Structure 1
Amino acid sequence: MEQVLLVVHLLIALGLIGVILLQRSEGGALGIGGGGGGSGNLFSARGVGNALTRTTAYLAVGFFITSIALTVLATRGGSNSVIDSLTPPAATGGQQAPADGSGNAPLPNLAPAPAAPAQPQVPVNP
C-alpha cells in the first residue's frame, strides 16, 4: 500500500512540475497561448490559463493529501529504525552493575589527577 501511494505521490509531483512549467509567465514571453486566441483554437489564451490554474490546484491538493497519507502510514507502521534493531553490548569483566539495581555503573578513573603545580605556569615579573 505504501509503495503504491509513493508511486502516485511521485507521479503527482512530476505532473505538478510539468503543469507549472506550462503556465504563462508574468512577463508573457514564455508559456502556451502565444498569438491571438482565435476562434479556431480549442482553448483561447484565457481558457488555457484557467485550465492550467485549475489543474495546478487539483494536483497541489493531491500532493498534500498523499504527503499526509505517507506520513501517517510511516508513523503507524511501527519503528523501523536501525537504532532500535541494535542489541546493547554485553558487559565485560571488571565492571559490575550496582547492587541497588539502578543500572548506573560508576565511571572508572582512567587517569590519575594532576598534582598542583609548585610554581605558577606563567612567568611573573617581580
Structure 2
Amino acid sequence: MTFATFSLIFTGVLLNSAAQLMLKAGARALGPVAIGSGSSLFAAGWNAATQPWILVGLCCYFVSAGLWVLALTRVDVTVAYPMLSMGYVIAALLAWHFFGEALTASRILGIAIILVGVVVLGRG
C-alpha cells in the first residue's frame, strides 16, 4: 500500500471517528430520548436533526464515505476494510479524553491487538 493510499484511508478513518464523537456530543446535548407516540418520535427526530454536533458529525460521515470510495479504487477491500478498525482505537482514546469513558485493561489489550492487525495487513 502506498503512502498516498494509506493517507486516504487514515483521513477517512479520522473523519469517521470524529463523526462518532460529534454524534456522541450531540446525543449528550439531547439527553435521554423517550420514544413513545408518533409525535414524540417526530420531536426527537427534529431535535436530533437540528442539533449542531449531530449535523457536523453527519457531514464528517459524508466526506469520510467519499474518501473511502477513493481508497477502494486503489486497494483491495480485503486490505482496506480491516483498516477501519483503527477508528475504534482513535474513538476509544478520544472518548476517554473528552468524555471520561473508561479505558480498562481489556480495552487497552484489544486496542493493542487491533493495532498489530492493522500493521500486519498494511504490510501484506
Give the TM-score normalised by structure 2: 0.39
Q: Which has the larger radius of gyration?
A: 1
TM-score of the two chains, using structure 1 as the length reference: 0.38
Between the two structures, name the one with larger relative contact order (CA 8 Å, sep ≥ 6). 2
Q: Which has the higher helix share?
A: 2
